[in-house]
Amino acid sequence: MKKYPLAKPYITKAEEKGVLEVLRSGSLSLGPKYEEFEKRFAKKVGAKYAAAVSSGTAGLHLAIIAAGIGPGDEVITSPFSFIASANCILYVGAKPVFVDIDPLIYNIDSQKIEARITKRTKAILVVHIFGQTADMIPIMKLAKKYKLKIIEDACESIGATYCDCSAGTFGESAVFAFYPNKQMTTGEGGMLVTDKKNIYNLCCSLRNQGRSENMRWLDHKYLGYNYRMDEMSAALGLAQLKKLDFMIKERRKIAGWYNKHLAAYADIIRTPDTAAVNTHTWFVYVVQLLSDKIRRDRVINLLRLEGIATKPYLPPIHLFDFYKKRFNYKKGDFPIAEDVGSRSLALPIYIGLKEKDIKYIVNKLIKLL
């Protein structure tokens, strides 16, 4: 039986060579690789500065600190995301204020934001979910009107564009992630990008124990962290960045095959939509099971027995235990996020899948349904 994982990194000789070179150099941290990775990454995204960090979550934590957000502040964000985008707001003692999502694109519904803005609102943390950006023009208008900062969680949407502008160029800072299931990987790792020199400098200091800018190792200006990216990861990132365009093209091809082979079943499965002004880079390929009679979790178990890994994407954050306890959230608070989450099914997408694999997966899924 052929086995299909949900995701798989695309690692070739170039990555092996890069990492081996670092290992043999003896310079395993704070060497030349992470700086080169930062420079190339900033250029790719179209940002002035990039700071490599140990994870996307670490990058989001620094972005929130650099925005001056702290206890008593509110940050508007989406409940339909990976938990890190809301947790980073809690790390600094601020409060995530959720706004429900658009039912087709699954990003925060820009029309519902204004009603949730209060005197305490400091920022909008926009999550670009699944590989396409949120509806940024109305969000940026609101931010301007109410003097709010925008921070982008672009961890799932590297390479995506909105009205021809790149994900990561809309906020005062934006964060990308390189966990092995993302469009490109460094093992663990992340990148914060910004056009603001002061934010860049602060984040560089905070990721390195709050070390002062005059580079003296033991002179600490702030309460910092160890959020550094090591050189092996940076070498991996450099090799991956070189083939990012190719990898995105491959993901688009696979998504296209799913769309094609699922088209005949539109009465039971909804394929993903892409907004007219967006380009999609397919972190995941998520369909919606439309029939109320179908038990999604049973479908997942049965597909697993067929060797096909699938997953709910995503269970909404407000219904996780400690969010419910802390903020008294309950079922029904964000009905669209809940409905989308409960019907969702992420299908395998990774480089190496052929059209015949997609046909096979679609056939198994349809037969089960």
Ligand X SMILES: *Cc1c(COP(=O)(O)O)cnc(C)c1O
Residues that bind ligand X (CB under 6 A): 55-57, 81-82, 84-85, 127, 153, 155-156, 177, 179, 190
Q: Given the complex with ligand X, which of 100 and 360 has the nearer CB atom?
A: 100
Smallest separation, CB 176 to ligand X (Å): 9
> Is residue 174 classed as helix, strand or coil in its secondary structure?
strand
Q: Is 119 designated active site?
A: no
Q: Which H or E run contains 4?
A: none
Neighbour-count burial of 324, counting CB atoms closer than 10 A to its CB (0-12 exposed, 13-18 middle, 19+ buried): middle
Name the residue number minimizing CB distance to ligand X. 56
Q: Given the complex with ligand X, which of 232 and 362 has the nearer CB atom?
A: 232
Smallest separation, CB 94 to ligand X (Å): 17
Neighbour-count burial of 296, counting CB atoms closer than 10 A to its CB (0-12 exposed, 13-18 middle, 19+ buried): middle
Residues whose CB is less than 8 angstroms from the CB of residue 363 and which lie 6 or more positions away in sequence, other chains included: none
Q: Given the complex with ligand X, which of 85 and 344 has the nearer CB atom?
A: 85
Smallest separation, CB 40 to ligand X (Å): 19
**Is the Cβ–Cβ distance between 138 and 111 less than 8 Å?**
yes
Smallest separation, CB 265 to ligand X (Å): 28
Q: Given the complex with ligand X, which of 74 and 188 has the nearer CB atom?
A: 188
Tell how many helices (H) and how many strands (E) occur in the chain: 12, 13
Q: Given the complex with ligand X, which of 113 and 284 has the nearer CB atom?
A: 284
Smallest separation, CB 25 to ligand X (Å): 26
List the catalytic residue out of 141, 182, 197, 311: 182
Q: Given the complex with ligand X, which of 313 and 329 has the nearer CB atom?
A: 313
Strand positions, DSSP E, the chain:
49-53, 74-77, 95-98, 121-127, 149-153, 161-162, 165-166, 173-177, 190-194, 269-270, 278-279, 285-289, 344-347
**Is the Cβ–Cβ distance between 337 and 102 less than 8 Å?**
no
Neighbour-count burial of 131, counting CB atoms closer than 10 A to its CB (0-12 exposed, 13-18 middle, 19+ buried): buried
Angle at 284 between CA 175 and CA 154, to 5 degrees: 10
**Is the Cβ–Cβ distance between 161 and 133 less than 8 Å?**
yes
Smallest separation, CB 100 to ligand X (Å): 17
Catalytic machinery residues: 182
